[in-house]
């Protein structure tokens, strides 16, 4: 039996807000002057009765001075600053500013003997305060660990539980050069299959995968090429197939529906049918939460891909088990929101967000790959699985946390610009539609999707092939694809879906 563990996501490390940074700077200034003055008196052998009276005005002066010095440090560390690339220089400049201000106030303004500080104190206090301010900023600007951005426990799958499924088996992974495909390759190899073949059209990505993951074979092939897929599968005879190849970027698929249909729909059909022809034991198709009540063409194509796993399974004469896994957004995957935001922050901003209320479900790439393995181990024909990904995360909040984790201040050091929702994008994603419900499984945090509808597999396959023929003969305009795909979904699962799509 597969054991599944929950690893509590560590609290977001020290990432103070702008007000907290200012308060810490003020405290550092006041504490440093207090310590420096106390050290001087102790060195002299006694603390005078006027110690507290002498200290009071300097607490305010030192606190205000260090806030200014800290602001100088922060501004000089902004991306684009002339000395931002020199790690120590902003702190030295800020410390020098604090030292000069304290010395000027001490020697020019507060020359009254009661309040005048010994030069030892006037020099040591700002130096200690600047060191503290530098430490604050360095502590808040360490490298970012993606797991810190999740506000829920991390789900870890005991991969040894998948051993009976994978040990000694031939495994084929499409889209293996992508983030999920590459992680799948690593996790599968750790279990000990007889052979693993990584398939992708990305030649560079496959070359890099060979260098990172020893022992994997690679193959350049397009999943939308049905003849190539059938020949490849019949030659390789894989036992387990993970289909991760897809176009996933909503605006690009929206602008190129022909290619989106070819890869996401025809590619899924070609892989599933080739696997059945090669008598594979199991096929797992990777889907997305954008397939739920789809508003984008990418979501529509992935909705069809989910249904095709059922349709091919209905018509298959072999014992091949086909299932699908529905994901949210994968943190850190190429082209996803986090690398984009980090790149914008590193270049000095502004960070771009589609809408202040935009929210998404997030998971780590390790969780995504683990769920694929889990569904393969326990999948049933036509099964669709979803991981409990906790609550949705506001993209705006995620961006603010990333800025703060870089040791910068949202809205001041890094500006935010709202660009508006792109074509096909939603404000919020969903894990299941109204005509689906989530059923608990024996694995905590993994849910099975139970639909209220039935899939007319033969009708779906007929409609997909008919649309492909029209596409190849040039009888489909780009703007026609969404309506045509919605129509074939409606026919496959019933009138209810058609009414919902029209609404």
Catalytic residues: 290
Closest CA to 386 of 268, 309, 299, 286: 286
**Crossing angle (nearest 10°) for helices 89-104 and 51-76:** 150
- CA dist 309 and 381 (Å) reads 8
Contact, 61 vs 41, CB < 8 A?
no
Its sign, for the CA torsion 284, 288, 291, 296, is: negative
**Is the CB of residue 330 less than 8 Å from the CB of residue 179?**
yes
- Return phi, psi of residue 85, to 5°: -80, -10
Q: Read off the tokens for 113.
A: 């003997």
Smallest CA-to-CA distance from 425 within 290, 265, 264, 303 is with: 290
First-residue to last-residue Cα distance in the chain: 44
Looking from the CA of 325 toward its CB, the CA atoms found within 13 Å total 27
Pick from 167, 76, 175, 62: nearest CA to 121: 62
Torsion, Cα 260 261 263 266, to 10 degrees, reads 170
What Rg value do the Cα atoms of the chain yield, rounded?
A: 30
Tokens found for residue 330? 């994968």
Could you tell me how many residues make up the chain? 503
The answer to whether 214 and 185 are in contact (CB under 8 A) is no
Q: 97 CB contacts (<8 Å, ≥6 apart)?
A: 68, 69, 72
Residue 312: name the closest of 230, 386, 382, 234 by CA: 382
Give residue for tokens 């897929």: 229
Dump the DSSP string for 113-178: TTTPPPHHHHHHHHHHHHHHHHHHHHHTSSPPPGGGG-SSPEEEE-GGGGHHHHTT-EEEEETTTS
């Amino acid at each position: 039996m597969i054991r599944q563990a929950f690893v509590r996501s560590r609290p977001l490390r020290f990432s103070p807000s702008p007000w907290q940074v200012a308060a810490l700077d003020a405290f550092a200034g006041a504490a440093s002057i207090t310590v420096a003055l106390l050290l001087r008196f102790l060195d002299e052998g006694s603390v005078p009765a006027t110690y507290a009276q002498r200290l009071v005005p300097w607490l305010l002066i030192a606190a205000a001075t260090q806030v200014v010095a800290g602001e100088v440090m922060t501004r000089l560390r902004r991306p684009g600053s002339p000395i931002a690339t020199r790690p120590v220089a902003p702190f030295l400049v800020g410390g020098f500013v604090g030292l000069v201000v304290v010395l000027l106030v001490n020697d020019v303004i507060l020359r009254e003997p009661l309040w005048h500080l010994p030069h030892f104190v006037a020099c040591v206090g700002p130096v200690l305060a600047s060191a503290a301010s530098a430490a604050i900023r360095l502590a808040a600007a360490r490298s970012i660990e993606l797991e810190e951005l999740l506000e829920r426990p991390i789900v870890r799958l005991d991969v040894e539980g998948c051993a009976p499924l994978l040990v000694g088996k031939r495994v084929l992974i499409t889209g293996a050069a992508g983030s999920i495909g590459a992680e799948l390759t690593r996790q599968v190899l750790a279990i000990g299959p007889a052979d693993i073949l990584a398939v992708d059209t990305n030649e560079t990505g496959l070359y890099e995968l060979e260098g990172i993951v020893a022992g994997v074979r690679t193959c350049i092939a397009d999943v939308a090429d049905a003849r190539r897929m059938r020949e490849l599968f019949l030659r390789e005879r894989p036992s387990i197939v993970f289909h991760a190849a897809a176009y996933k970027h909503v605006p690009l698929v929206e602008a190129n529906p022909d290619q989106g249909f070819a890869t996401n729909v025809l590619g899924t059909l070609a892989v599933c049918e080739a696997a059945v022809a090669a008598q594979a034991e199991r096929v797992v198709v990777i889907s997305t939460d954008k397939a739920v009540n789809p508003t984008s063409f990418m979501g529509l194509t992935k909705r069809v891909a989910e249904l095709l796993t059922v349709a091919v399974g209905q018509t298959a004469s072999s014992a091949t088990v086909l299932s699908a896994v529905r994901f949210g957004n994968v943190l850190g995957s190429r082209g996803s929101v986090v690398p984009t935001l980090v790149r914008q922050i590193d270049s000095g901003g502004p960070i771009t967000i589609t809408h202040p209320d935009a929210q998404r479900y997030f998971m780590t790439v390790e969780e995504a790959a683990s769920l694929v393995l889990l569904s393969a181990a326990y999948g049933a024909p036509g099964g669709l699985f979803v991981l409990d990904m906790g609550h949705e995360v506001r993209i705006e909040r995620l961006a603010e946390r990333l800025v703060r984790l870089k040791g910068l201040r949202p809205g001041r050091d890094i500006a935010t610009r709202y660009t508006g929702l792109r074509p096909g994008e939603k404000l919020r994603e969903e894990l299941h539609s109204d005509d689906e419900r989530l059923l608990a499984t024996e694995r905590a945090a993994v849910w099975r999707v139970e639909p209220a509808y039935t899939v007319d597999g033969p009708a779906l396959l007929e409609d997909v092939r008919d649309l492909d023929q029209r596409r190849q003969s040039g009888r489909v305009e780009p703007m026609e694809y969404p309506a045509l795909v919605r129509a074939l979904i409606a026919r496959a699962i019933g009138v209810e879906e058609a009414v919902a799509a029209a609404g």
